[in-house]
Structure 1
Amino acid sequence: MFCKNVFKRGLACFAAACLLAAPCASWAEQEPAPQDQAQPAPAGEDAAQAPQVAYTMEAVVVKDKASSSATGESVIDQDLLQNLPAGNGSINEMLKVLPDIQFSEDSRSSLTGGEILPPNVSISGGRFYENNFSIDGIGNNSLLDPAADNPNTMNDVPGHPQEFFLDADLVEQIKVYDSNVPASYGGFTGGVVDATTKRPGLRYSGSVKYRTTRSDWASFHIGGGETGEYDFEHSDSYLKQPEFEKHEFAAIFNAPINDSMGVIGSYNTLWSDIPLRHLDGSKTQTRRNQNFFAKYAWDLNDSNFLDISAACAPYEGKYFVRNAMNSDYIIKAGGARFLADYTHAPLDSGPLKVKLSYRESENTRESPQHWRLWATTDTFSWGKINGSETSAEGGFGDIEKTQKTLTTSLDKEFNEFDTWRIRHSLQAGFEYEQTAGTFTREDTTYVYKDARISPDIICDDDCFDAVAYEQFFTTRNVYPEDDAEANINLYAWYLSDKLDIWRISMTPGLRVTVDDYMDNVNLAPRFFMTLDVFDNEDTVLSFGANRYYARALLTYKLREAKKPFYRETRTSYHNQLTDWELSSLSGSSTYSYSELDTPHSDEIAVGIDQALLTGTFSAKYVSREGKDEFARDYGPVQSDGLRYFTMTNDGESSHESYRASWEKSWKKHFLSMSCNWQESKSSNPDYDTTLEDDETSSQIWYKGDLIYLSELPAANYNRPFIGKLTYSGKLPWGFTFTSHTSFREGYLRIEDTGDVKPLPDDEGGVDPITGDSLATEAAVYDEVQYEDAWIFDVKLSWTCNYYRTQKLTLSVEVENLFDEISRVGSDSEEYEMGRLFWAEAKWEF
């Protein structure tokens, strides 16, 4: 209701402004004075004609481009962020203009057009959860099972690599490192994505924005012929979303307080409605992400600056279990963060930066407490709707997972000094991070199954697990109430020295990390050098050799602390129910932690930046070898009746990429072209892949051989060649046009053909743990050719300037303009979304 009221008021203000505003200025008059360069009014000048009073905070220069060099650092500035086709508006979606970044194959799937979570990205071959995401230099990584994505898991909650889903409207610039990452960054084996939020400007200003799209504005591409299209159109699962509506509302207000301080505040919400079939009717699932943000900036004097910011970014998804009665549940994520950022930058010394941050996030489920799988009868008849012998009811119980992190950091840049003919620029820093994770199930959850029809059974009228004279449950899994905790204290020190001699610049560095989880001392050497061949920056050669260490996850430590579920059975005696008893087949799986090495990646990077055709041409080669990476092993049954998943260092990976790019900015235009060839190999797609062969692993047929599913090569984030072209230009009469074109080379991928083949006679049987019958046949996998794909996204905006700084901007975004049919994902019916329109209206004042 709050969001709807704000939205209505915003539209009312927007409409009033349109009616009262003066006619639009001509195109030649539409370039307003730079907002962040206002100066105090000269003495005696009429205040009505003078600019707003400015305070002394340094103005931000907007370059309207995305610079990407062979050094490994790329920057996307604010103007390009505003002009790019935004999709759902997340920071991750803005990264599509940069080379050596690959998105998940299903990130723009036609099947799930209503989802709003940021897409997962791989940087320089790293797994999607192995990046360092940070906001204003403070981490934004979730350590609570970031690879989990199934909302229907019985004893867990889906996670995401990021704690907070920050909207790109709040970002001043995005800095990305895909190689040669400075020693001041750690906790990754992929890349670094550091977003800098907006700082208060120098005058009163603000904006109100509304965007929307919907399934009626989309072209769906669905495989599987008529059957696949019918199943999609009549879907009752969040995995197939034939209808959706998305709406985004945003408001930002900037206010200087006096000559030296100011505040900026904003609210943004993106929500999606997804109608689906449910039993013999329909029901709407929803997704909502909100951003509350405020920053206070105080320039104490010419050399001391203080920024204090606070943000709250809750996410909520409402689901139901397909074919189940009374099964609505809610998934919550996101959280809140606070940051105090102090900079001491005297003229006679390098700056000292001190940051203190606290953040708290959650992955939580609110659900009916128990799950009951009734036998379908006249009493429990809804199973007949889909021809099932069972009628499901309920949910999997409430679960709360939290992550609380306290961070403090100091970074010092020292004055340059000379020794012999070498100029030194030292930088040193220290970081301390304390992270606490919790897993809480407040009440025991029962999963009832194996209902037995019994017309003579006697029980109370309010009996929860039986119906008098009809049926009762003979088996239940018990998920006991639980309260697990895990803590990690991490310390990091780093030192680097930029050495300038002649035309050569070298930056050796070292980052040392220690944490009380892995209990390892990790030394990560960094080395980067450049040669300015002609001493005019027209031709610069670069070389880097670096080691990066991953971050310790709370996932396994929490799993180890959790109580395992167990199984109980019962029967009847003289038409009376017997007591529940522990089953002789009650053994289940749990987790055991053992001391491990910290996963790391060794990198070699060679590149050149060359001035060419009034632009910059860059070429780079990157090689990485990932070692001691996390995987898991599944051991035999122990004396306590349990089998243990154990984390191991058996994972490994490799990545090679060759990249070439050219970019140019001139007047009101920006053009960037890049192509990237890469090959990534990995022993396991994530830390939950079991590398040891055991009877719990899924077996498949491939090329006539019976193998385990985990033995197949990687099938995601592995397109061999990608080309990108981005153009943004300000045109006459207030128009701005931005396009992003990408070419993805086709490749062979190993997939399920839909066929099955019997297992050998010695396979199958009965699972010794659960007592369930094992499969007697296995799926047949084969190579599937994915075709080349050209995807063309555009955004066209028209801006009408009104009195002084007031202006109206109307925009249309089109994703996949030419409605390209592109196969993606692992499902034979899954294709990329076809042509999709977004409409936007924005009022600035």
Structure 2
Amino acid sequence: MPSPRLRCVSLSGYRSLSLAVLLGMPALTLAASPGSSPQSHHEQQQHFQIPAQPLATALIAFSQQSGWQVSAESTLLTGLNSAPVNATTSPENALARLLRDSGLQWEVTSPESASILPPAESDVLQIKSTPITAMDSVFQGEQVIDRQMIESLPSGNGDITSLLRTNPNVQFDNNQLSSKTPGEIAPADISINGARPWQNLFVVDGMTMNNDLDPGNSNDSFAEISGRSQGMALDTDLLEDIKVYDSNVPVEFGGFNGGVVEANTRDPKKDFHGKVSVQMSRSEWTRYHLNEDDPDLENFEAGFGNDSQPEFKKIITRATLEGYLTDNFGLMGSFSRKDSTIPTRVFAVSNQTETANVAETQTRRIDNYFLKAVWQVNEDWKLDVSLTHAPETAKTFGPNSVYSARDMEAGGESISARLVWNAPMARVEQNLSWSELNTSRYSDSDYLIFWRSSTTKDWSTSAVASEGGFGDIEETQKTLAYKLKADWNSFNWLGLDHSVQTGLELSQNSASYERSKPHSSYTVASTGTCVGSDPYCSIGTTKEGWPGQYANKMTVSQGKVAFDTRSWALYLQDEMRYGRLTVRPGVRIDGDDYMSQTTIAPRLAIELDVFGDNKTRITGGANRYYGRNLYAYRLRDGIAAMGTEYSRASQSSEWVKGKQNANDSKFNQLKVPYDDELTLGLSHVQWDTEFAVKYVKRMGREQVSRAWGSQIGEPSEDTSTLAANYYTYYNGGKSDADIYTLTITPLQAFTLGSTRTSGQFAMDWSKINNTGLSNYSASIGATYVEDPTIQYDGKFMKYSDMPATNYNRPWTARLTTITEIEPLHLTWSNFLRYRDGYRRIAATGKKVQHEGKDAYVWAETPFSGALTWDTRIAWQVPTAKDQAVFVNLDVTNLLDKQIVGATENSGLPTYEVGRQFMLEVGYTF
């Protein structure tokens, strides 16, 4: 649709003191009586809080909050909804956001007056204006990435977290951009304010979308599957906006230590529209930066192993249809598929046997099937229902093993219904959702046998020749949730303006880990003969001189661990205004029967408008955020005991059942980890630019650690049922973070000729202490369980006070610009980022004396920082009214810088991917 237009006129005018609304007339007029304080439009930075709602009532709210008079034919507004606005911005920008998806135009007709106009009669599709916004809300804790920003920024693989690089409080995994794995398409894990990635909260249309099965596990072993924090990898083409809450988070959100990423899907457009596109990247369009000293370089170039990807091809296809079937009922259907194919070699290049030289192909796939229905019942009631099917699959191989292919599955399904009632006393929103998320593995083989290499088992160059896989595992998480939120109408009491929010949350959760099919693993002994057609007997001389071999021991694993939990939450928040001071106290109470804990999280945010002109604001806050206890803690209790041992004395003997395996993990009820937060910020508007600085201090406590029971004074009392070296979990971890940020955001686009450029500069300085003690999936060993004193970089400190080894660049500077050249239908977007160098932090193996005790020595190896420049050129070729062919060219690391991203265990540096091209071609109508 054509974008709203702004006719440039003088805007010196008057502030509003009252509102007159004329209803029941052919024309709707929203008027405000003039006051006596003239201000130019450059100074009219105001806070707007207008939720998505029928456009007519949204314009009334806009007029109330801005003091502007807005005129519109009522017939233009019928059946239309507004986009949400929650920002401190100019009235012009606020009005443009409200009308963004309506197709309507608007113009300033006089100071503090505007008229709403019908859509332009045009035969071409117009370029939308794309402003870059400041940290939008009061209290400096929220960033909004709106639809136009989503479309303008380099999109990577089209996932949510790729768009969060502009936020200075967000850091990424060191290995996210590795030159060894450019074929991956899964969304990256992120850390917000130094917290662990699995302690962020992901919300889509009010529904929690976290994978709590085992998100911190990176192993793909016999009993474990690697996970990540996002339960479903949604394509950003579905989204209306993304909100990131990194500090002073409202009480509406709980169950996190880091921050909140809230995504809202788009409503269907009023008229019939659609879009189809194909996007591609490939290894030929990618520059690899590899370490010539890497002893595994030859294996990488041959594609040996799942994490060696010298060749790949990515193709992303998208299709969307949307529109209203009646005046008040609309549908949007969308499909996207992200495919990556990666040629691979299962065996190391040193193995040149016929079996080892067989070429295989890894695959990655993420599908999104999405259907959304919106019913605007009347001006007071709105219902939307969303159905999402978002499966993920990855075909990989066990290294140096035949018949080892397996399909890894993740993602899931969800149904979400949201009912909004603009009641006389409050805006009431109810959400009812059901979701099923999974992390599963399906092996081609239901057995694994460790043969000795021989003349017949000749596919390995080592002493062992593996055959088979780890078997099937299904991890499933099901959630039925209900949320009720009421934003009560503002009222004045005791001389204060109050805006109260209350809420209730209920959820029923089920978690399970299952081996539904029996899996058998075997070890072998020597034999001279094979009787019958036993597949687990082989004649052929081994390297040890055995004439043959047979399976003499077998472990059969099958079973299920499952449990249900219930949780609830209540919250209350009151945003109080008195003159230039705004204070927002709140409290959130959470409880569950998983850990039988009830937590109370107080929240407080304060803002002072220093001069009463919305130009200089001081913010502060003191908050507590309780996280989540993961299902892995309990699911692992019982996995090892699924195995039963069998043996046979000779190849011709019957299998004899032996003992059941002892459990190797024990579940303990834990406290809920929490972060305490202190914030202080200052923002000032000068020269049509917002300058903002903020300090966030986080103190994470009661974080979950893993250790042997014997290491924390809980030895096994019966080693036949609980192994002597069993693992358990305890609240032994802590973290500390000090983060300083600076943002500079021009509030008006810079115009040069027929071009418009908006931009933002952001910078952060971070000091994050976060060690293995706060990582539930790490095995830190007995040395560090009791948090001893160590020597780091020449200084003595507690082990837990050592800097984090990941998600911890000391400082980063970011510059984002978006330039629109309307006559050419071009948009040029740039994202430049300079990151301080990666630091390798590792134990040296040495000890020194400190206060009469041994202290282990840890050392830091710094690497130089580097500038990366990512760019997107978006070109539309109009073909007819509201129709266009479009081309998007993304180039990441445009300067092809060689950047150390991480190090191997040996200390050898590995590099990030070099210059890479991604091209999208599509048609929109």
For Structure 1 versus Structure 2, the TM-score category normalised by the shorter chain is 0.7 to 0.9
The amino acid of 2:533's aligned partner reads: D
Alpha carbons of 1:695 and 1:194: their partners in 2 closer, same or farther (altered >3 Å)?
closer
Q: What's the offset of the Cα at 1:569? A: 7.1
Partner of 1:776: none
Partner of 2:153: 84
Q: What's the offset of the Cα at 1:494? A: 0.1
Checking the alignment, whether the CA contact within 8 Å between 1:631 and 1:648 is kept in structure 2 is yes
Residue 65 of structure 1, aligned match among 116, 122, 132: 132
Residue 681 of structure 1, aligned match among 769, 774, 778: 769
- Residue by residue over 1:506-530, the C-alpha shift from the partner in whole angstroms, topping out at 9 and shown as x without a partner, is 0100000000011111000000010
Checking the alignment, whether the CA contact within 8 Å between 2:153 and 2:872 is kept in structure 1 is yes
Checking the alignment, whether the CA contact within 8 Å between 1:808 and 1:841 is kept in structure 2 is yes
Partner of 1:639: 718
Q: What's the offset of the Cα at 1:463? A: 4.3
Partner of 1:830: 910
Checking the alignment, whether the CA contact within 8 Å between 2:556 and 2:644 is kept in structure 1 is no
Alpha carbons of 1:748 and 1:398: their partners in 2 closer, same or farther (altered >3 Å)?
closer
Partner of 1:96: 165
Flag structure 2 segments of 5+ consecutive residues without an equivalent: 6-51, 57-74, 85-96, 101-129, 347-355, 541-546, 711-715, 750-755, 848-855
2:433 counterpart of 1:330: no
Alpha carbons of 1:196 and 1:64: their partners in 2 closer, same or farther (altered >3 Å)?
farther
Q: What's the offset of the Cα at 1:709? A: 11
2:685 counterpart of 1:607: no
Checking the alignment, whether the CA contact within 8 Å between 1:691 and 1:710 is kept in structure 2 is no
Checking the alignment, whether the CA contact within 8 Å between 1:601 and 1:625 is kept in structure 2 is yes
Residue 319 of structure 1, aligned match among 381, 396, 410: 396
The amino acid of 1:673's aligned partner reads: F
Checking the alignment, whether the CA contact within 8 Å between 2:414 and 2:434 is kept in structure 1 is yes
The amino acid of 1:723's aligned partner reads: A
Partner of 2:349: none
The amino acid of 1:351's aligned partner reads: R
2:496 counterpart of 1:404: no
Q: Within 5 A, what are the aligned runs for 1:75-474?
A: 75-151=144-220, 153-225=221-293, 227-278=295-346, 279-346=356-423, 348-367=424-443, 368-383=445-460, 387-449=461-523, 451-455=524-528, 457-464=529-536, 470-474=548-552
Alpha carbons of 1:626 and 1:59: their partners in 2 closer, same or farther (altered >3 Å)?
closer
Q: How many residues align?
A: 770
Instruction: Give the superposed CA RMSD.
Output: 3.1
TM-score with structure 2 setting the length: 0.79
Residue 653 of structure 1, aligned match among 715, 735, 750: 735
Partner of 1:716: 806
Partner of 2:851: none
Task: Describe the SS at the equivalent of 2:228.
Answer: coil
Checking the alignment, whether the CA contact within 8 Å between 1:224 and 1:829 is kept in structure 2 is no
Q: What's the offset of the Cα at 1:591? A: 1.8
Task: Describe the SS at the equivalent of 1:481.
Answer: strand
Task: Describe the SS at the equivalent of 2:372.
Answer: strand
Alpha carbons of 1:484 and 1:708: their partners in 2 closer, same or farther (altered >3 Å)?
farther
Checking the alignment, whether the CA contact within 8 Å between 1:273 and 1:286 is kept in structure 2 is yes
Partner of 2:39: none
Partner of 1:772: none
Quote the Cα distance in structure 2 between the aligned partners of 1:654 and 1:59.
38
Alpha carbons of 1:356 and 1:116: their partners in 2 closer, same or farther (altered >3 Å)?
same
Checking the alignment, whether the CA contact within 8 Å between 1:222 and 1:829 is kept in structure 2 is no
- Residue by residue over 1:397-421, the C-alpha shift from the partner in whole angstroms, topping out at 9 and shown as x without a partner, is 1111111000101001112222221
- Residue by residue over 1:467-505, the C-alpha shift from the partner in whole angstroms, topping out at 9 and shown as x without a partner, is 5972113444x2521111122211000001111112101
Quote the Cα distance in structure 1 between the aligned partners of 2:843 and 2:758.
44
Q: What's the offset of the Cα at 1:428? A: 0.3
- Residue by residue over 1:166-215, the C-alpha shift from the partner in whole angstroms, topping out at 9 and shown as x without a partner, is 01111100000000000000000000000000001111111111100001
Q: What's the offset of the Cα at 1:825? A: 2.2
Alpha carbons of 1:495 and 1:702: their partners in 2 closer, same or farther (altered >3 Å)?
closer
Alpha carbons of 1:446 and 1:703: their partners in 2 closer, same or farther (altered >3 Å)?
farther
Quote the Cα distance in structure 1 between the aligned partners of 2:748 and 2:551.
74
Q: Within 5 A, what are the aligned runs for 1:367-766?
A: 367=443, 368-383=445-460, 387-449=461-523, 451-455=524-528, 457-464=529-536, 470-476=548-554, 478-564=555-641, 568=645, 570=647, 572=649, 576-577=652-653, 579-580=655-656, 582=658, 590-636=664-710, 637-641=716-720, 642-643=723-724, 644-667=726-749, 668-684=756-772, 686-690=775-779, 693=782, 713-731=803-821, 732-751=823-842
- Residue by residue over 1:34-92, the C-alpha shift from the partner in whole angstroms, topping out at 9 and shown as x without a partner, is 8x99999xxxxxxxxxx999633335624643432562110001111111111111000
Alpha carbons of 1:454 and 1:710: their partners in 2 closer, same or farther (altered >3 Å)?
farther
Checking the alignment, whether the CA contact within 8 Å between 1:334 and 1:363 is kept in structure 2 is yes
Quote the Cα distance in structure 1 between the aligned partners of 2:533 and 2:296.
45
Checking the alignment, whether the CA contact within 8 Å between 2:707 and 2:785 is kept in structure 1 is no
Alpha carbons of 1:798 and 1:490: their partners in 2 closer, same or farther (altered >3 Å)?
same
Q: What's the offset of the Cα at 1:390? A: 2.1
Q: What's the offset of the Cα at 1:789? A: 1.5
Task: Describe the SS at the equivalent of 1:237.
Answer: coil
Percent of aligned pairs with the same amino acid? 31
Quote the Cα distance in structure 2 between the aligned partners of 1:209 and 1:744.
33
Task: Describe the SS at the equivalent of 1:490.
Answer: strand
Q: What's the offset of the Cα at 1:293? A: 0.5
Task: Describe the SS at the equivalent of 2:225.
Answer: coil
Q: What's the offset of the Cα at 1:380? A: 1.4
Of stretches 784-793 and 217-226 in structure 1, the one that deviates more from structure 2 is 217-226
Alpha carbons of 1:809 and 1:703: their partners in 2 closer, same or farther (altered >3 Å)?
closer
- Name which structure has the greater RCO, CA cutoff 8 Å, separation 6+: 1
Task: Describe the SS at the equivalent of 2:782.
Answer: coil
- Residue by residue over 1:755-802, the C-alpha shift from the partner in whole angstroms, topping out at 9 and shown as x without a partner, is x999xxxxxxxxxxxxxxxxxxxx998532221121110001111111
Q: What's the offset of the Cα at 1:389? A: 2.2
Quote the Cα distance in structure 2 between the aligned partners of 1:531 and 1:53.
37
Task: Describe the SS at the equivalent of 1:79.
Answer: helix
